[in-house]
Structure 1
């Protein structure tokens, strides 16, 4: 029972960190990430097909993505699906290649992005602390119902606090890395 509680706490806190990392990586900093197109799918060959199955997506430089569509007849459909994303970029077509050219990020925009990222990090830290609080309440309930003694409860709570500190530090590391990449673009 206690072991399951610890495993659940770690799993939930780890999910928060992974989710934060995924969302934060979608915020443009140094280089355009081809993963911004991961949700694009095209109706072709009788079904919805992910873009990465019908094309090769690569980053040409810090501002340009190149999408080489394997079947030329799909290029206009792919372009339409990319337009639906409302990306802040220019789109160029040539034969079976679509190029997305993104503008440079201004200093003001970078500062705003840093503020956004910091707010996201704080929200995730609060979520981790909520998990700690809920777990502490569960431990108190177990102590009151005499399923565990107070000393054991204190030890378990200290372990949960260690998990909390560890996962908050992970969020801080991810945040600092993103801030650095935004500032040194």
Structure 2
């Protein structure tokens, strides 16, 4: 289902809505002190510029520089997309008040970013079918927790209807 969403990015562009891609990765020499690298170890961490760090092939054509409402943050090195990046300033500059969070891993980066966004007074939409993790149990736990106090749980169809009607 998520790959189908990629082909709908044009609808966001057509409505002049920003799309922000984040890439999580570490420069091990710089991040060796970080708890996240200690947790996963050097072999388990995503190394910046490695194949694991690259965007999915389906996303590359959308994340090219020069598009006015497409932003690519490549220096993310924590689960939270707001930490050590310029995400907050980008969102404020573009006058964004509501976020749709999609990606992987639901229970790590996506959930942490959703909680952080909510705590920074953004309204968060979290489409359950546009986020993925390693098993159904972790997916369900994240959805339950976010729904309780951090995000409006939604789905692909509802998001697309809202974008087409500019209700988000």
Q: Same fold (TM over 0.5)?
A: no
Question: Which one has the bigger helix percentage?
Answer: 1
Q: Pick the structure with greater CA Rg.
A: 1
TM (norm. structure 1) is 0.22
